Structure 1
C-alpha cells in the first residue's frame, strides 16, 4: 500500500500511528501483576486508527531477552492486557515495547517503549559484587572490585568469570582466581568510562550483575543553538542541557567565555537540567561554556562554530501571540516561514527582509494545541533553519466530571463514582475512559511525574529521546511550566523531531485483523504452485475450518482473528484436482524486531520516591506474610509437592536444576488426549496454557514446535529422565506419544542454569548465556519414542499465536459480612482498574469498588479518548478513615 497524494503532507511520518500504553503504576514488585491499557491512534489527528487491529507487546529483560509477549486485540483503537511478574523474577531494570506491523515502516520513531524496575518481593541483601572503585596508580587507571561468590554458591572453589560492559561499547571478560579467600578484580583502563556493567559467573553457574556509574560528579553539558547554527552579528538563543552520569537532568550554573577568557554571559538550568543563554557572537570568535561541579572541579565545553553566513529563525511567546524573527545574511528581499503541525503544512508566511531580519507575530489561537514547527525555507523550498514551539491554547478541549457519593470513606466501604465527559460547550459526549484508583501514599507522587495520556500525545510521542518526568510539564499549578517546555524544545528540539523529511519505504503492510499467510511450493523443484487447494483446520474443542486456493505465486492467507487464546494448533493440508498432494507448505513469519536496551539506565541509583515505594510495598508484603504465618497458611508450592515421590531420575533433575514448581501427571495428559491429538505437545498446548506455551520456531518457517515456560525467566531448556536434552534433538520431542509419559514437570528460574544451558547448547559463548531460565523436565516409562517423529509431506501441523486472553482485575467484595469482619489485611496499593469503559448517548459511567485497609487517601486517575481524537485527563483524591487493625501483626 502506498501513500495518498496530498500537497500538504511534508513528512510521511504523518501516516504513522501513535501507540500509548497506560500502566497501573511505574514500578513493580516481583509477584505482582502489571496491568495496561493500549491505544492506537492516527499520528496526525489522534483519532482511533483503522489500520491496525493487532498490537504486539514485549516484556524485555536487562540482557535483551524477550521474557514474554502479548498479542493484544485492538478494537476502535483500544485494547488491554497484563503481564504476570513471577516472585522469582530477578530485580532490576526491564523494558516494555509495543508496536503495530504498520508502525515498523517508520523506524523506531513510533514504537512505544518504557523502562521500569522490578524490586524484590521481600527485602534482599546485595551480595556478590562489592567495593567497585576507580584507582589511579602512577598515571594508570584501574577498575577494582571485590567478589564474594560463596554468598551465592556455597560449592564455589577456585575461579570465577567476570564480564565487563563499558559505555564505550567495549566488552571484555577476565578469569579471576581465589587468593587467600578473596576474589579481586584489578582491570587496567585505557580511558575512564562513565559506567560499567559487571557480570560475575561462578563455577556452578550462579550469576550476579551490577551496573554502576564510575564518575558521579561528571556533568554532560550540551549547548544547542536555537535553530541549529550560531550566526555572527545577531542575537542567538542557546538551549542548555546539563545531564548527570545517569543521563538525568541536573541543576547547573555556568558562564560563557570568549577566547580572551572574558565572561560574555551567565546561565543556569532548571530542575530538569535545561536552560537558555543569550549570546550575540562575533565572527571568527571561539566560545566555551565553563561549569564548576559539586567537587569544585571545573569543566569546559566548546560552543558550536560561529558562522559568518547563514540563517536562523526564532520563536517567542508574547502574551496571546507568537513572535517570529527570521535572521539571514543572504542577499534577499524576502523570506518564507512555513508553519506545520505533525508533518502537515498549515500555511506559509512571506515577509520583507529589512537589515537582515523579518519580524512578525501571529495569534496563538490560530494554531492547534501542541508542537508547531516553524521552518525557514529558501527559494527552492529547502529548509535552512527550524524551530519547534509548543502552543498552549490555555484551556482543555474536554472536561471530566467525577462525583463521589461521599466526601470521606471508611476502609472496606464501597465508593460509588459517577463519571461524565463534556466538550468545550458543556455537552455530554461519547468517549472511552479508563479508571485507576491507587493509594495516594506513595503511588500518587509517582503518578504526577509519569507519562500520562496528555503529555504523551501532545509532547513525548513527537520527540526522539527520553523526556524526564513529562507529567510535570502539564501541571497547570506550576507557573513556570511553559517556560520549561520551551527550554525542552530548545534542547530536545528540531533535530529530534519525529516529523522530519526522512524517507519512508513501505516494507510492512497493515494488520487490521490477525491472519497467517504463506506459500506452497512443489516437492521436487521447489517452485511456487498455483491453484493448490488448501484446507485449514484450527484444532480444539470447537474446530474452525477454512479453505483457500493459492494464487499464481503460490501464496495463501487465512483469517485467524477468532483466536482469543495464546496458542492454537492448526493443520493445513494440500490437494490438487481433488487428490492429496505432497506439496511443501510454509507459513511466513514477520522479520524479528531487534531488541535494544539503554544500559546507562541500569545504573543502580533509584530516586527517593522509588525507594519510598519499595519500602512501603515490602512492609505491606511482610504484614501479609505475618498474617498468613499466624493463620497457618502454607505456601502454594509446598501444597502442590507434598506427595512428590523422589525417584532416581527426579533426584538427578533436582540436583541439577532444583525441585519443580508444577507437576503434570502423565495420566492427566493421557485423559486429555483427543482423537486429533498427534503427540505430547498438542495435549499440553490446549490443556495447560497457564504453565506451558507451545509455539512454532519463529526462526524457521514451518519449523518445529517449541515449549516455553510461562511466568518464568524467559528461556526454556528441556530435560528428559534426569538428563539435559541437546537442542538439536528438540524437534523430536513434540511427537512423543502421551502414553509413554509419566509426568511433565516445570522448574521456574532453575538453579545452575548457566551449566544447564551450556549442556543444551554446547557451542555457546559463556558470556552469551541468559542470566535466568526455566526447565521442562519430561519423564517417560521406557525412554522411547522421541526418534520416531517424521514430518509428513503435503500437510503442515504447527501452532500459531492467537490474541492474549484478557484478565479481570480482582477486588474483594465486602458486602459479605464474614468477609468484611475478616482479620486478613487488605493491603492493595492499586485499588481499582477498569481500562475500557464506554460512555455512550450522553449517559454517565457508574463505577464502584471497595477501599482497602492501608490507604489514608485514594487518588483517582481518569484518562479519556473520544472517537474524534480528543483526549483528556483528570485526577482527584478523597480521604479514607482506617479501621482498627491493632489485632493484625505489624
Structure 2
C-alpha cells in the first residue's frame, strides 16, 4: 500500500508543477480549460421539492469527456451569499449526476448553483458554471411588509422613501427597526427607524439616483424581510459597440446595438444616429432581445449621438465613441456558403494577415494584399468547424489590432437523434415506452450517453426552447462572457432570423468578452482525477517540515480502510480516498518515527475558498408571466395533494413529534429562543456509539448521524478548527449549550467534549429569531451581514461542565472528511400493480421522468419506459446526448395524454 501511495504522490506533485508540452498553435490558456454543464429538471422550484441535475465535464477545445477531473464541486448558494449545501459529484468519463433537497422551510427568493473543478480554478470565473433560479412557497403566502417605495424630488434633492409594517412579521415588535440599503450592489448603508404615529417611514437622502435598490428590514426580535426594486422602470440602457472596438473614419463601420431594460434584460427599441448638425445619418431598431445592427460611414471631424424614445414617451440621448483617424478594423459577413472578410487599415503596409482560430487554437493565417487601405477575401464556410470562429487582424509586428467573432453554422446537426413512442396517444397512469437511437451525420449508429427528461408540457415545457440546454451552452454560452438571454432561441432552426440574431449577439457581446483571449499559459491549481486528501507534517516546536515521518491512515466505518505513507523531503503526504462513496467519513492519521509514536503537527491542506458572487440586479421583483404561471400551477397541485391527505386523515406536521420529550428548564429556554427541535439524539445513544478511537463528541456524532450533522474544518482558514453544520437546514449553524448561546470564540472547545458528559444533542432547523441568536454568537458582526436563516445545534450536558474538559491529542489527527455525495433514485410510480393503479391518491408529477445517464453501445437502441401522471394533457420528452468523440445533440418530442376514465376502469 505504501508504494502505491508513493507513486500516487509522485503523480500528484507532477500535477502541481503542471508542465505541459504546449502546442505552438495554442493561442489561449483557456484552450486547456474544461467546460462544465449542469442539466436541471426545471427552471424554478417549490420549497420541499428536489433539484435533480446531471453534470458533464468536457474538454473546452474538442468537447470530448475530460480526463483531468474526476471530482466536481457543486454549491447551493442563498441570496445573502451563504453556501447552503455542497456536493462532491463523482465524474466518470466526463459524466455524473446528483441532487439537492429543498427543505419545506426554505425561504422564497433567488438562489444560485455553481459548479467547478479544481483544475478550472486556473481560469478565474470564465469556466465556472453558474445558474440562478427561484424558490417559491409550496403553498400561497401573502407578505406585504415593505410598501410604497418611491423616489421623491424635494427642491432638487432626491430622497428614497418607503413604509414598513414589521408587525406583519413580528407581532411583538415595539419601538424600532433596522433597515439596510444596497444601491446598485455598489454602495451599502444602514439606518435605524423608530415608530412615529404607528408608522415606520424611511426617508433617505440620495447622493445620486441609483438604478435599483435592495432593502432589508430587521425587527427587534430578529425577524427579517427584504426586496429589490428598480427605481426607474422606464430607463433604457443603450450600448453602441463598434464591430472591431473603434469607429474608423473613411470606412464602413458596423455597430452592434444593445438595449437593456431596468432588469438588465433585452428590450425592443428603435432610434436614429445624428451628426453634430442633428441630421439623421442612419436608423436602427433591435430585435425582441434588444440587439440590432447599424451601418455608419463616420467622418473624423464629426461627433455622433444616438437618440431613442423610452417607453414613457421621453427621449434619451447616448454618445457614440469618438471617431478615430488611425487604426484597423475587420468585418465578417455571411455570403451564401462563404464567409466574406474585409480588413481596413490606415497603416502604410502592402499586406495584412488575418488569423483564424477556434477555441483558442490557431487554424491558419491568411496573408493578402492591401489596396486603398483594404483587404478582401472570402472563404468556404465548410472549411471551418461548427461554432464560434475568431478572426484576428495581425499587424506587421505580429500584434493583434482588431478582432471579430463569427458563428459558423454548417446547416445541420452533427447527430441525428431518433425518439419514437409505442403509441400516438396515452391515458393517465398508462406506461409510455420510448425507443431511442443516435446516429452520426452519415447515418451510422454511434456510442453515446443520454439523459432523458419528461415534463408536463403545460407549464414547464413553455421555457424549454429558450433555456440554456446542451447545444446553446456548449456552442455559445460557454465561450462568451456575460449574460446571454434565452440562448436556446438561437438554435431553433424553425426561426428564419436566428442566424441574423446570432450575428447581432456576437457583435454586442464583442471580442473583448470572448473567453479565449490571449493569456500567459501558467497554471496554479493541479488536476483532480480522483478524490484525495493531502497535507504536511511539521515539528511542533520549530514548525519545520518533517521528512520520512511514518503516517498511518484509517478511514473508520463498517469496513475500515487502512493506508500508510512516508512524508517526502518537504513533509508532504497524500492519501487516495476515491473509495469514499458517502457524504462524510471519520478518519484518524497517526504519526510515528523510528517505530515510536511522535508528537508531530499533522495538517490537512484545505482548498482555498472560492469567493461567492451574487448578481443583485437579478433579484429585482416582477418575475415574468411564465414564472407566475408555473408558480400558480405548482401551488394548485400542492393544494390538491394537501386536500387529499386531509380527507384521508393524513396529518402534516411542521415539526417532528418527539415522544417522551421532557421539557426541562434549559430546554424551555432554548425553545423560547430558537424553537422546538426537529431531531433529538439522546446522550445514552451517543455513549453507546463511542469507540476506542473516538476523540470526543464530534467524532461520535458525525460517524453515526451523517444525515443530520456534518463536521468539517473551517474552510476560511487552513488548519482551522472543526465546525458542525446542520444538514437540510438554512445554511448557517450556531451552537447553544444548556439553554444559552455559545460565543463563537468558544467553538474550538466543543469537538472534544467527552460523550459521557452529554445528556442530548438536539437539532433545530430554520430556527426562529435567528438574527438575534446569531448576534449573540457573533457579537461584533454588522447587523446587515447576519444570514436571514439558519439552524441551531443545542447541546445539554451533565453538570454544565463539558465545554471546558477538552484535551487536544498529540501526534494524532482525528477528523472527518467529505466524500462523494450519495446519489438518489428518481421516484417512479409503478401502476402495474392493480391496487396502486386504482388508488384515489392523485399523481401530480410535473417532472414525469428523469434518467440522467443512459449508455448506448455497439449501435444499440435504448428502450425507456415510465408511467404518465394524472394531471397533464401533453408530455414533453427532452433527450440530450454526448458522444465519446465530442459530438453533442438535442432532441425533443411531445405526445398527448387523456385523463383516465376511472368508472370504466373499475
Q: What pairs with 1:797-836 in structure 2 (closer than 5 Å)?
A: 797-836=814-853
Partner of 2:239: 222
CA shift for structure 1 position 761:
1.0
Query: Deviations 1:474-506 (Å, cap 9, x if unpaired)?
Result: 000000000000000000020100000133431
Separation of aligned partners in 2, 1:703 and 1:565 = 23
Separation of aligned partners in 2, 1:99 and 1:832 = 27
Are residues 1:55 and 2:72 paired? yes
Residue range with higher mean Cα deviation, 99-108 or 726-735: 726-735
Partner of 1:175: 192
Partner of 2:26: 9
CA shift for structure 1 position 590:
1.3
Q: Does the 8 A contact of 1:702 with 1:798 survive in 2?
A: no
CA shift for structure 1 position 526:
1.2
Separation of aligned partners in 1, 2:678 and 2:302 = 70
SS at match of 2:768: coil
Normalised to the residue count of structure 2, the TM-score between the two structures is 0.96
Matching residue within 451, 459, 462 for 1:442: 459
CA shift for structure 1 position 782:
2.8
Q: Does the 8 A contact of 1:335 with 1:352 survive in 2?
A: yes
Partner of 1:257: 274
Are residues 1:604 and 2:612 paired? no
Partner of 1:864: 881
Are residues 1:403 and 2:417 paired? no
CA gap 1:22/1:193 in 2 versus in 1, 3 angstroms:
same
Q: Does the 8 A contact of 1:704 with 1:798 survive in 2?
A: no
Separation of aligned partners in 1, 2:284 and 2:580 = 59
Query: Deviations 1:536-561 (Å, cap 9, x if unpaired)?
Result: 11111111110110111111111111
Partner of 1:489: 506
CA shift for structure 1 position 778:
1.6
Are residues 1:32 and 2:53 paired? no
Separation of aligned partners in 1, 2:763 and 2:408 = 56
CA shift for structure 1 position 632:
1.0
Provide the aligned length of Structure 1 versus Structure 2: 887
Q: What pairs with 1:536-547 in structure 2 (closer than 5 Å)?
A: 536-547=553-564
CA gap 1:722/1:106 in 2 versus in 1, 3 angstroms:
same
Are residues 1:457 and 2:449 paired? no
Partner of 1:673: 690
Query: Deviations 1:646-701 (Å, cap 9, x if unpaired)?
Result: 22222111110111222223333333333433322222212222221122222343
Q: Does the 8 A contact of 2:426 with 2:897 survive in 1?
A: yes
Query: Deviations 1:584-616 (Å, cap 9, x if unpaired)?
Result: 111111110111111110101111111110010
Q: What pairs with 1:91-106 in structure 2 (closer than 5 Å)?
A: 91-106=108-123
Q: What pairs with 1:850-861 in structure 2 (closer than 5 Å)?
A: 850-861=867-878
CA shift for structure 1 position 848:
1.1
Separation of aligned partners in 2, 1:658 and 1:407 = 54
Point out where structure 1 has 5 or more consecutive residues left out of the alignment: none
Partner of 1:784: 801
CA shift for structure 1 position 139:
0.9
Separation of aligned partners in 1, 2:418 and 2:724 = 49
Are residues 1:655 and 2:672 paired? yes
Q: Does the 8 A contact of 1:585 with 1:702 survive in 2?
A: no
Separation of aligned partners in 2, 1:116 and 1:735 = 40
Partner of 2:175: 158
Partner of 2:7: none
Partner of 1:87: 104
Partner of 1:618: 635
Matching residue within 308, 311, 322 for 1:305: 322
Q: Does the 8 A contact of 2:754 with 2:805 survive in 1?
A: no
CA shift for structure 1 position 4:
2.0
Matching residue within 266, 279, 290 for 2:283: 266
CA shift for structure 1 position 168:
6.1
CA shift for structure 1 position 232:
0.5
CA shift for structure 1 position 372:
0.4
Q: What pairs with 1:191-230 in structure 2 (closer than 5 Å)?
A: 191-230=208-247
Separation of aligned partners in 2, 1:187 and 1:697 = 39
Q: Does the 8 A contact of 1:400 with 1:873 survive in 2?
A: yes
Separation of aligned partners in 2, 1:63 and 1:699 = 17
Partner of 2:367: 350
CA shift for structure 1 position 521:
0.8
CA shift for structure 1 position 5:
2.2
CA shift for structure 1 position 642:
5.3
Partner of 1:586: 603
Residue range with higher mean Cα deviation, 297-306 or 841-850: 841-850
Partner of 2:446: 429
Q: Does the 8 A contact of 1:423 with 1:429 survive in 2?
A: yes
Separation of aligned partners in 2, 1:98 and 1:402 = 30
Runs of 4 or more above 6 Å deviation: none
Matching residue within 110, 118, 126 for 2:143: 126
Q: Does the 8 A contact of 2:750 with 2:803 survive in 1?
A: yes
CA shift for structure 1 position 636:
4.7
Separation of aligned partners in 2, 1:646 and 1:26 = 44
Are residues 1:760 and 2:777 paired? yes
Normalised to the residue count of structure 1, the TM-score between the two structures is 0.98
Matching residue within 718, 735, 739 for 1:722: 739
